[in-house]
Amino acid sequence: MRIARFSVDDEPKYGVVETDDPEGLTGTVNVLDSDPLYRSAQFTGEKLQLADVRLLAPVIPRSKVVCVGRNYAAHAAELGNDVPQQPMIFLKPNTSVIGPRDGIVYPEQTNDLHFEGELAIVIGRICRDLPKERVNEVIFGYTIANDVTARDLQKSDGQWARAKGFDTFCPLGPWISTELDVSDLRVSTELNGEPKQDGRTSQFIFDIPEVLAYITSFTTLLPGDVVLTGTPAGVGPMLPGDEVSVSIEGIGTLTNKVIVRD
């Protein structure tokens, strides 16, 4: 099931998407009466054309976006880093989240802005000290993320809060897929239609059970929190005017354009 958050006349709504278009530009959405992440939702009977709605970020994390760094060996190597011995965790604020087709703002503080396409986990239940064998009980579904990074600030600051945390640095979408085997999905990124990244979730250094068990060993995850699982090799710079599209097999495609703030 594909669950979207969308707006019509600026009013956020939720619905189940029916489409063969990976970006959801065509097809229909069956409207729900509430956010199914937080309560049992029912169909209202209203059906809208996707062309007539604006897809939003499918979830606004209640508290945080938790990210795994260097979770592909080839990506660690391309930046000259060692493979971590345990999951490398950092946070992005929920104010960094934007939706499909929203603009990624190129900050004046950086000269080296990078894309990083990733699989994202949407948490559905409060969890702490989660055993690996119970991970599936707390996952609501999966979406696509772009872990936008100011690479020069990441190097100069010595920690990643600013480099990863600017407003607009966490595009999510186009919807949440709730029934998906993510053990071996293709994760790819294109910049202006040119292939840049091409990896598979089977190449994770730390798989999803390991990641969620590790994260919840020191912090509580809340419903609506999002976990980014790491990016394949092939990251690189993007400039104002560029369009970046991240695609994940079985989910769809998340596209955003890089802009400068007015």
Identify whether residues 213 and 255 lie together within a single domain. Answer: yes
Identify whether residues 127 and 232 lie together within a single domain. Answer: yes
Whether 111 maps to a domain, the answer reads yes
What is the residue range of 17's domain? 2-55
How does pLDDT run along the chain (262 residues), one tens digit per residue? 999 999 998 889 999 999 999 999 999 999 999 999 999 999 999 999 999 999 999 999 989 999 999 999 999 999 998 999 999 999 999 999 999 999 999 999 999 999 999 999 999 999 999 999 999 999 999 999 999 999 999 999 999 999 999 999 999 999 999 999 999 999 999 999 999 999 999 999 999 999 999 999 999 999 999 999 999 999 999 999 999 999 999 999 999 999 998 7
Structure tokens at 94: 């929920």
Whether 15 maps to a domain, the answer reads yes
pTM of the model: 0.97
Identify whether residues 175 and 201 lie together within a single domain. Answer: yes
- Give the closest residue to 18 by CA, choosing from 6, 5, 8, 4: 4
Identify whether residues 248 and 121 lie together within a single domain. Answer: yes
Whether 33 maps to a domain, the answer reads yes
Identify whether residues 140 and 35 lie together within a single domain. Answer: no
Cis peptide bond N-terminal to 174, omega within 30: yes
Residue 23: give its domain's CATH number: 2.30.30.370
Whether 32 maps to a domain, the answer reads yes
DSSP string over 207-259: -HHHHHHHHTTTS-B-TT-EEE----S--EE--TT-EEEEEETTTEEEEEEEE
Whether 154 maps to a domain, the answer reads yes
Total structural domains within the chain: 2
Whether 180 maps to a domain, the answer reads yes
- Give the closest residue to 180 by CA, choosing from 148, 126, 153, 140: 140
Identify whether residues 32 and 93 lie together within a single domain. Answer: no
Identify whether residues 124 and 12 lie together within a single domain. Answer: no
Yes or no: say if 14 and 36 are a contact pair by the CB < 8 Å rule.
yes
Residue 76: give its domain's CATH number: 3.90.850.10
Q: Which of 32, 55, 78 is the last residue of a domain?
A: 55
